[in-house]
Amino acid sequence: MALTRRALGGLTIGGTAAFTLAACGGNEGNGGSGSKELIWAIPSAWESWNENTGAGNNSYGHQAMFPKTFGLDGNSSGDFDENGDFHLNDAVFADAKVINEAPFQVEYTLQENAQWSDGEPIRVEDFIFQWYSISGNPEHANQEQAQPASTTYGSKIASIEASDAGVVVTFVEGHLDPEWLYSPTVYLPSHVLEAEGFADWQTDPAVMGNAIEWSEANLIDVVTGPWKPVDSKMGEYVVYEINDKYQGSVKPTVEKLTMRVVEGTEAIVTELRQGTIAGAWPSEFMQEEFAKVADDPNLEQAVYEGGVWIHLDTNVLSEFLKDQALRQAVFTAVNVADSIERIFPETEVSQRLNHFFGQKSDYFVDLLTETGQGSGDVVKAAEILTTAGYTGAAEGETLKTPEGKDVKLVIRYGEGDAARTTIAELAQAQLAKIGIALELKAIPDGELGTVLSESDFDLVVFGWSGSPTFGSAPGQYFLTDVAYGNYSFPEVDEAIAKVQSTIDVAESAAFANEVEAIVVPLALTLPFYDEPQGIVWNPSVIDGIKANGNSQAGPIFNVVEWKNA
């Protein structure tokens, strides 16, 4: 997913919290053994090998595949470091620059030896394959198969052509983007897809759709990153060996790197203490488990801000939540502050009050508080419903629509995730006060992408993760045919289009807040909080771990620098 939003206050280093991405490598046995192997724990499964698709747009799969892409994936052409500075992937690119503003054109200069791990050169067709994958254009690919997680970037491209330096990307008339440098460019090797039988992908949308579908089910072992996969099982593990043709400036030294799922913070800490993994980035904060690490002189932990913000989303095509008044009442009845207090009783975590900017951002504005959304004010929620013709809300009876139907909703949340379970349970209690029966239905491990892409929910709790950028967020969260909640509002789409109509960051941010002003009263997504993050590791096994709240990969962002301790 895209974009980091920060809104944490006074995070206490001693009593940590976590994030929706896990990480870390581990040897068998104790550090200093001379082993060249590491096992890195990932806290949950994934269900697609292609990060461009709705099902593949999953932070766990992103972690699992990061060693083979090293940031050159379906999200970006590089990555942000721990200081928030962006680094273009130097295994492929020597430079990137704007060469024209009308039409908007950018040129990527390729490294002289930019190549895939099979020795084949990076070529313009690789850029075009990525464009077609995420354009949302049925003339490029069968969209029932492509199912792009975001078309914000791909839909704005007019052409991609080879140049003397490398590749020139020309955008559609009127499109400008102050964050163009962070856009995805090269991801999958088009020559490999052609060899697999999809040679006509550029001219036949059906073939392109088949190619995308194939790449979801099959892990391609031809890569640009520091390591290439040699063994894997979907949703469980990937084993890597060094890519001897890697062109990046920093070369990997860990000879065998395994990314392996370890479910749950308790299990992660247990395996860490037993020495079977080198560390992890747990997806669930458990104070008592992090305390175990803090008390162990052989282990280390770090706690920091950034990365993931948790929210409650509506499905506007569900039977009852088509009605804006009901959505507003639901969001008003839900008590965000109470959820935060119960989930983080010993860590100061502030409520998130903007969909695109954290409270520390220069562009932050609070348009939520005045609406009462997230306040837990059931009296106000009942007033909204009564005014809209509902009955039963003020009396504490079963809520009925103006047509007399009982209002029943289903909320989805990650199975085994204590924080998201708490949010769902508290929402159930609050909505009961206005007569709404809310059924709790957990999302089995590894199935979040499917639940979201198939809109199998009335309400759903999950997190967005990413980098310090904001330009693509309005489109990804709220654009017609892109947003998971089936949102389709012409006025929102028009406002979103303006966000990427300038190369001035401040002006673009102002346009993003114009989107905010429209979507808040529509009650589509209720922000909860920016999740505090924590990592745990064994310093006698692995060296080079850094906390990074700016990268979607979290502490894996500098995996190429990791060394066996």
pLDDT digits (tens, 9 = 90+) for 530-563: 888 889 999 999 999 999 988 889 999 999 999 9
d(CA 16, CA 287): 6
Distances (CA, A) of 73 to 53, 77, 114, 231, 251: 12, 7, 16, 20, 19
Residue 501 token pair: 């109509």
Check residue 32 and give its pLDDT. 45
Name the average pLDDT for the chain.
90
d(CA 501, CA 565): 49
Residue 357 token pair: 């900017």
Residues in the chain, overall count = 565
CATH 3.40.190.10 domain position(s) in the chain: 13-72+224-307+532-565
Q: Which residues pair with 461 in a beta bridge?
A: 312
CATH 3.10.105.10 domain position(s) in the chain: 308-530
Of 79-88, 123-132, 531-540, where does the model show the most confidence?
A: 123-132
Angle at 501 between CA 500 and CA 507, to 5 degrees: 85
Class of the domain covering 308-530: alpha beta
Check residue 202 and give its pLDDT. 98
Structure letter (DSSP) for residue 299:
-
Largest CA distance in the chain: 73
Q: Which fold has domain 92-209?
A: Dipeptide-binding Protein; domain 1 (3.90.76)
What is the SS3 assignment for 338? helix
The DSSP bridge pattern shows strands 308-314 and 525-530 to be antiparallel
Q: pLDDT for 172-214, tens place per residue?
A: 998 998 999 999 999 999 999 999 999 999 999 999 999 999 9
CATH 3.90.76.10 domain position(s) in the chain: 92-209
Q: pLDDT for 270-310, tens place per residue?
A: 999 999 999 999 987 677 888 899 999 999 998 887 668 99
| Pair 255, 240: CB distance under 8 Å | no
**Is CATH 3.40.190.10 the classification given to domain 13-72+224-307+532-565?**
yes
Question: Angle at which helices 324-333 and 418-432 pack, to 10 degrees?
Answer: 110
Q: How does DSSP assign 477-530, residue by residue?
A: HHSTTTSTT----HHHHHHHHHHTB-S-HHHHHHHHHHHHHHHHHHT-EEEEEE
Distances (CA, A) of 275 to 253, 272, 561: 21, 5, 21
Structure letter (DSSP) for residue 121:
B
Where does the pLDDT of residue 449 fall: very low under 50, low under 70, confident under 90, or very high at 90 and above? Answer: confident
| Mean pLDDT, residues 346-350 | 81
Q: Is the peptide bond before 103 cis (omega within 30 degrees of 0)?
A: yes
Read off the pTM: 0.76
| Pair 350, 359: CB distance under 8 Å | yes
d(CA 434, CA 397): 7
